Structure 1
Amino acid sequence: MKFEETTIKSDRLYEGKILSLKLDTVEIPGKKYSKREIVEVSGASAIVPILDDGSVIMIKQYRKPIEKITLEIPAGKIDLGEEPRETAERELREETGYTPSNMTYLTETHTSPGFCDEKIYIFLAKGLQAGEQDLDDDEVVETFNYSFEELIKMIERGEITDAKTIIGIFMARDYLKKEREK
Structure 2
Amino acid sequence: MAGTSAAPTSDDDPYERLRRERPALFANPPGAGYEILPVADASPERGPYGVQYRDPFVTLVRDPVRFPDGQVGGYVRLLARAESGGAAILPIIGARVVLIRHFRHATRDWHWEIPRGFSDPGETPEETAHRELVEELGVAPQGLRRLGMIHVDSGLSAMATTLYATTLPALAPHETRDEAITERGQFTADELDALLAGGELTDSFTMGAVLHARRLGLLP
TM category (shorter chain) comes to 0.7 to 0.9
Q: Which runs of 5+ in 2 are unaligned?
A: 1-29, 40-48
- The match for 1:36 is 75
- The match for 1:138 is 178
Alignment of 1:59-78 (within 5 A): 59-78=100-119
| CA–CA distance in structure 1, aligned partners of residues 36 and 79 of structure 2 | 18
Question: What's the TM-score once normalised by structure 1's chain length?
Answer: 0.86
| CA–CA distance in structure 2, aligned partners of residues 97 and 15 of structure 1 | 30
Matched-pair contact (CA < 8 Å) for 1:98–1:128: no
| CA–CA distance in structure 1, aligned partners of residues 86 and 163 of structure 2 | 9
Deviation at residue 129 of structure 1 after TM alignment: 6.1
Q: Are the structure 2 counterparts of residues 19 and 177 from structure 1 closer, same or farther at C-alpha, using a change threshold of 3 Å?
A: closer
Identical-residue share of aligned pairs (%): 27
CA RMSD of aligned residues (A): 2.3
Q: Is the aligned partner of 1:153 residue 2:183? A: no
Q: Which runs of 5+ in 1 are unaligned?
A: none
| CA–CA distance in structure 2, aligned partners of residues 19 and 45 of structure 1 | 15
Which letter does structure 2 place at the counterpart of 1:147? T
**Structure showing greater relative contact order (alpha-carbon pairs closer than 8 Å, 6 or more residues apart):** 1
- The match for 1:3 is 32
Matched-pair contact (CA < 8 Å) for 1:47–1:88: yes
Q: Are the structure 2 counterparts of residues 168 and 19 from structure 1 closer, same or farther at C-alpha, using a change threshold of 3 Å?
A: same
| CA–CA distance in structure 2, aligned partners of residues 129 and 146 of structure 1 | 13
- The match for 1:24 is 63
Deviation at residue 31 of structure 1 after TM alignment: 4.2
Question: What's the TM-score once normalised by structure 2's chain length?
Answer: 0.72
CA deviation digits over 1:134-162, x for unaligned, max 9?
Answer: 75x73121321111221122112211111
| CA–CA distance in structure 2, aligned partners of residues 62 and 130 of structure 1 | 21
| CA–CA distance in structure 1, aligned partners of residues 218 and 59 of structure 2 | 40
Q: Are the structure 2 counterparts of residues 89 and 177 from structure 1 closer, same or farther at C-alpha, using a change threshold of 3 Å?
A: closer
| CA–CA distance in structure 2, aligned partners of residues 54 and 90 of structure 1 | 24
- The match for 1:14 is 53
| CA–CA distance in structure 1, aligned partners of residues 218 and 175 of structure 2 | 32
CA deviation digits over 1:80-106, x for unaligned, max 9?
Answer: 111101111211121112222221100
CA deviation digits over 1:56-94, x for unaligned, max 9?
Answer: 111111011101111001111111111101111211121
Of stretches 95-104 and 23-32 in structure 1, the one that deviates more from structure 2 is: 23-32
Moved over 6 A (4+): none
Structure with greater strand percent = 1
Task: State the SS of the aligned residue for 1:26.
Answer: strand
Which letter does structure 2 place at the counterpart of 1:47? I
* Equivalent residue in structure 2 for 1:103, among 139, 144, 147: 144
